Amino acid sequence: MRHFESLHQFSVNEITDLLQLADKLKSGYRPLMGQTFAVNLFFEPSTRTKSSFVMAEHKLGMEVLDFQAETSSVKKGETLYDTAKTMEAIGANMLVIRHADDNWMEELSGRLTIPVINAGSGKTEHPTQGLLDLLTIYQEFGTFRGLKIAICGDIIHSRVAHSNAQALKRMGATVYLCAAPGFEDDSLPYPYITIDEAVDECDVIMLLRIQHERHEGHWHIAYYLQDFGMTKDRESRMKNHAIIMHPAPVNRGVEIDSDLVECKRSRIFKQMENGVYARMAIITKMMEEWGMYHAPAFKKYQITANKGTVANM
Amino acid sequence: MRHFESLHQFSVNEITDLLQLADKLKSGYRPLMGQTFAVNLFFEPSTRTKSSFVMAEHKLGMEVLDFQAETSSVKKGETLYDTAKTMEAIGANMLVIRHADDNWMEELSGRLTIPVINAGSGKTEHPTQGLLDLLTIYQEFGTFRGLKIAICGDIIHSRVAHSNAQALKRMGATVYLCAAPGFEDDSLPYPYITIDEAVDECDVIMLLRIQHERHEGHWHIAYYLQDFGMTKDRESRMKNHAIIMHPAPVNRGVEIDSDLVECKRSRIFKQMENGVYARMAIITKMMEEWGMYHAPAFKKYQITANKGTVANM
Amino acid sequence: MRHFESLHQFSVNEITDLLQLADKLKSGYRPLMGQTFAVNLFFEPSTRTKSSFVMAEHKLGMEVLDFQAETSSVKKGETLYDTAKTMEAIGANMLVIRHADDNWMEELSGRLTIPVINAGSGKTEHPTQGLLDLLTIYQEFGTFRGLKIAICGDIIHSRVAHSNAQALKRMGATVYLCAAPGFEDDSLPYPYITIDEAVDECDVIMLLRIQHERHEGHWHIAYYLQDFGMTKDRESRMKNHAIIMHPAPVNRGVEIDSDLVECKRSRIFKQMENGVYARMAIITKMMEEWGMYHAPAFKKYQITANKGTVANM
């Protein structure tokens, strides 16, 4: 049985199914049967990924337990496995985990009886972000075949870049990378182009967040926007139908001119909206694979009425 | 469409309606239709205001998402607008925000499609506390006309003082201020009196919290109670029907003798109880104004029954 | 009316009833009537105890409010009583409290109108852990009479030792203690034996967590396992039917060989599972004693239908 560790695990058909399920959930859904418990274990700060999962879980009718790594036994040196196993023991039906280690999934592999969803692992993977990005492109173009997509920014430090590039290629897109000096990752097998080439040629420009503290003296942050970012001038030169994406949080005025964050081409807030449905699709798929989708362990809304009869629900 | 930024926005009739709605909710209420999401964004520590909102939201049948500013993207320098817009994008139906800036509401004004409730802005406004204070007085006296009300304590640093004084005056009360040296705020157009004058003359004594670190050497904290606070002697001199209020948390033995916190005149814990109903009234009003009160986007309790029929709810 | 402060308060019959109720809940349960609010006030870090309570509360259909001591008014110096009273005022039906003071319950005694459950008080008491430990033994042996039980480890600093030893004795077991030099507590009236004697003689070995920073130079942590812990060799010498327990979090390789954490004799994760049911039993008992079990203050799932009729639930 699979955890949701990486988009690499899923075939092109399976990814297409997930995209279509997410799209369908957007126009209507209903809660899971029974009382199911989602436990979110975030060992790194997160606003949007965590909130997005919490929202997805609530929309599916799950009960949500949040784990604050800052106020927890992890401070006492407990292993991730023991924490996860504890949550399984107390009745979690699913775990969502973000952790700074690159390979934390290996510690859990084959050792749990409930599915785990990777909400971020070090700088290697962020597959639910990957799926929501694919969903946003799929909704726009209906296909990936023939699309030219540039991933631009802090490639070396970005788990989004790693998660997305291979999936996009497998789905049929042509992937380009674009990075300021010091941000390249030579291990990725995609051609580098300049931001201006990307602007002229590509259907999708996926900007990445710059982490100020990480650039290495090759350039000055004050000039990043002008030299490597999405200026108003560059936006005006993009193809008619081309779109701008960013996983957020955005550094306004660094990766992108502040005025462009909500411009017509921008899909930035649409990506966030899509994140909820992408995650609902992933949760649904995992719960189905693990045989828990219809688990009526406890009928959440079944109440014994005052007179001793059971409501027929 | 209005956010709930300040009591200043609301007419005397509207405030009266809110008070009557809160009073009515106290004797019975029912949850909102459909699945609605409240997101609480607290960027400052809070026990009672946040718990009070969470309780009000639960009582109205809302799903509650809590945002911990300490473990969030705000650390990464995201703007308040981008955080709020993210919550809107993922499906929030309402935001409750507390933030240390005096004018954070301006950043959001006219830019969101969901209502925002001000749960505290710097030292300028705390309008939901204002409404619960009005509610407590309204329940006691049935009117504001003819009442003499003294606001006593750290006037200069208190957002409660600013929120309440104008509203009380507009509702028909006569407002006095009372402050130890260094705590006066000369921008407020109300007469200063001594605590002893307040005790002798007023129907309501609203004590404010002293923030130890902020007094400026004009007096010593050990003598504050005796010189400026509510001692047992002063309590005994109050008018028969007069009441004592305090927004809490209380510094026992500073603003008020510890033995008086739950004395007969004290409405301190009643204020807390009222806070839930005042906030339920505010949420109800906002959801109605924004057309979301009956939003059946998703019928929370609609469950597909085992046999494939839909429960008739 | 009692709070749940200590197992000492409960008779042998009452404890047996709680164990049987917990066992029964394990095979099926239903939510409390009406909308009831559990408020968890944890002033010390906790993963498993807090998560276990949250799970128990959700399973009983309660609404759960979590209080983060780190982001709260406690920082502003509020007393525990005032915090608890505030929660009562805003509508809590039950409080669960963990606090570092040994005797925090005394501050609340007789002053609240809702039940309080002790989730840990300094180093004196942890009675819900006590009950889940009893439950685990009861499920194993069906009785306590005639059992030899050794509590091994950091006796002096452990609230589990204090909670458990007396209860086990009252239920009919013979209790031994076993401690490395510096970890003894001479105030407890039970004989000390060596870990090897315990292994040879006892039916239950209850290991306690070693708090690295607290040992006092009598021995070196690197040799703790060999000299005082549960090695594979010791495990192999235990009686056929004997079991190993630990309240967790485990220091793998210190109190116990890492390979034994999930060995056949280990009940460590079963204890965690039992914790949820033990706490559900305690909550149920408290809510019954305080007359809130059937409180239909608000029927949670009663919804007014669109056409103005009320769903018959």
d(CA C269, CA C275): 10
pLDDT at B124: 87
pLDDT at B229: 97
d(CA C253, CA C266): 15
Residues B142 and B59 in one domain: no
Residues B209 and B222 in one domain: yes
SS3 (DSSP) at C56: helix
Q: What is the DSSP letter of C116?
A: E
Residues of C in contact with B300 (CB under 8 A): 303
The torsion angle over the Cα atoms of residues A282, A287, A291 and A292, rounded to 10 degrees, is -170
SS3 (DSSP) at B145: coil
**Residue B273 — φ and ψ, nearest 5°?**
-60, -45
Burial class (CB in 10 A: 0-12, 13-18, 19+), B226: exposed
> Poorest-confidence range of A188-192, A236-240, B163-167, C293-297?
C293-297
d(CA A44, CA A99): 6
Enumerate the H helices of A220-264 as residue ranges: 224-228, 232-237
Nearest residue to C59 (alpha-carbon basis) of C36, C32, C39, C33? C32
Segment B206-219 mean pLDDT: 77
Q: How far is CA A180 from CA A149, A208, C264, in A?
A: 17, 12, 56
Residues of C in contact with B59 (CB under 8 A): 35, 91, 298
d(CA A194, CA A178): 6
d(CA B144, CA B204): 11
> Which A residues 262-291 touch B at CB under 8 Å?
269-270, 272-273, 275-276
SS3 (DSSP) at C213: helix
d(CA C191, CA A304): 51
| Token pair belonging to C76 | 């502003």
Chain B closest-CA separation from residue A125 CA (Å): 19
pLDDT at A299: 39
Task: State whether residue B200 sits within 8 Å of chain C by CB.
Answer: no
d(CA A284, CA A30): 11
pLDDT at C220: 80
Residues of B in contact with A51 (CB under 8 A): 39, 65, 67, 86-87, 90
Nearest residue to C128 (alpha-carbon basis) of C302, C277, C305? C277
Residues B106 and B214 in one domain: no
pLDDT at B293: 73
CB distance A45–B304 less than 8 Å? no
pLDDT at B70: 58
Task: State whether residue B27 sits within 8 Å of chain C by CB.
Answer: no
Residues B150 and B199 in one domain: yes
| % helix, strand, coil for chain B, step of 5 | 40, 15, 45
pLDDT level of residue A163 (50, 70, 90 thresholds): confident
Residues C184 and C281 in one domain: no
In A, minimum Cα distance to C213 occurs at A76
Residues A252 and A281 in one domain: no
d(CA A16, CA A135): 9
Q: Structure pTM?
A: 0.91
Enumerate the H helices of C91-142 as residue ranges: 104-108, 127-141
pLDDT level of residue A309 (50, 70, 90 thresholds): very low
Residues C260 and C278 in one domain: no
Residue % of chain A over a pLDDT of 70 = 88
User: Is a pLDDT exceeding 60 seen at residue B298?
Assistant: no
Residues A209 and A252 in one domain: yes
Task: State whether residue A30 sits within 8 Å of chain C by CB.
Answer: no
Residues of chain C under the 70 pLDDT cut: 68-76, 212-217, 294-313
C310, part of any domain:
no
* Tally of CB atoms within 10 A around A298: 17
SS3 (DSSP) at B209: coil
B184, part of any domain:
yes
A312, part of any domain:
no
* Tally of CB atoms within 10 A around B16: 15
Segment A68-86 mean pLDDT: 75
The DSSP H or E segment spanning C99 is strand C94-99
Q: How many CA atoms lie within 13 A of B233 on its CB side?
A: 7
Q: How many CA atoms lie within 13 A of B25 on its CB side?
A: 27
Q: Which of C65, C79, C305 sits opposite B51 (nearest CB)?
A: C65
For residues A297 and C70, the model is more confident at C70
Residues of C in contact with A303 (CB under 8 A): 30-31, 33, 300-301, 313
Residues A131 and A263 in one domain: yes
| Residue given tokens 């694919």 in the structure block | A134
Q: What is the DSSP letter of C49?
A: H
| Residue given tokens 């104004």 in the structure block | B289
Nearest residue to C127 (alpha-carbon basis) of C265, C251, C286? C286
User: Is a pLDDT exceeding 80 seen at residue B76?
Assistant: no
d(CA A91, CA A263): 45
C220, part of any domain:
yes
Segment A286-301 mean pLDDT: 65
**Domain with C94 in it: what CATH number?**
3.40.50.1370
Q: Establish whether the linkage from the previous residue to B249 is cis, with ω within 30° of 0.
A: yes
Residues C283 and C177 in one domain: no
Q: Which domain holds residue A94?
A: 7-126+274-289
> Which B residues 40-69 touch C at CB under 8 Å?
42, 45-48, 51-52, 54-55, 58-59, 66, 68
* Tally of CB atoms within 10 A around C19: 24
Residues of B in contact with A128 (CB under 8 A): none
Chain A closest-CA separation from residue B304 CA (Å): 8
Task: State whether residue A89 sits within 8 Å of chain C by CB.
Answer: yes
Task: State whether residue A85 sits within 8 Å of chain C by CB.
Answer: yes
A303, part of any domain:
no
B50, part of any domain:
yes
pLDDT at B213: 60
Residue % of chain B over a pLDDT of 90 = 74
Residues A58 and A154 in one domain: no
Q: How far is CA B177 from CA A148, B120, B196, C115, C184, in A?
A: 68, 21, 12, 40, 61
d(CA B188, CA B45): 27
pLDDT level of residue B300 (50, 70, 90 thresholds): very low
DSSP character string of B31-96: PPSS--EEEEEESS--SHHHHHHHHHHHHTT-EEEEEEGGGSGGGGT--HHHHHHHHHHHT-SEEE
B298, part of any domain:
no
Q: Would the CA dihedral through B75, B76, B79, B81 be positive or negative?
A: negative
pLDDT at A212: 67
pLDDT at A30: 74
Q: For chain C, what's the residue count?
A: 313
B242 CB-near residues (< 8 Å, 6+ apart): B202, B203, B204, B205, B265
For residues B45 and C246, the model is more confident at C246
C307, part of any domain:
no
Please state the domain count of chain A: 2
d(CA A4, CA A15): 12
| Residue given tokens 């890492």 in the structure block | C258
Residues C132 and C266 in one domain: yes
